[in-house]
Amino acid sequence: MATYMIVDVNIHDVDAYEIYKSQVAPIIKKFGGEYLVRGGAHEVLENDLWSPTRMVMVRFPDKKSALDFIHSDEYAPVKKKRRDNSDGTVLIVEGL
């Protein structure tokens, strides 16, 4: 079953985050991930629970692939770069 990683990120250092983006893309691809949304314009239609900042959505072939990516040794130093230069929420959702 496909699994979607949904990320809401508030970037503090745009230049450092651009480096992160260039480094994370090939790792996501290696684990079978495909970007569906990557920070495009969004419009909040209802706002009872949270106010999104910058949305990213990646489809993985299954939950194992998504978890293997997020916990991989290859992603660890890149993840640190993201966490050092932004705040965010990351979740996975199983879907179609």
Q: What is the pTM for the complete model shown?
A: 0.92
* Cβ–Cβ < 8 Å for 41, 54: no
**Residues in contact with 82: Cβ distance below 8 Å, sequence separation at least 6, in sequence order:** 9, 17, 20, 24, 88
Domain span including residue 69: 3-42+53-94
Domain count, the chain: 1
pLDDT in the model for residue 77: 97
pLDDT in the model for residue 50: 87
* Strand arrangement, sheet containing 34-38: 34-38, 55-60, 3-11, 86-94
Domain annotation covers residue 85: yes
Torsion angles phi and psi, residue 55, rounded to 5: -100, 140
pLDDT in the model for residue 21: 95
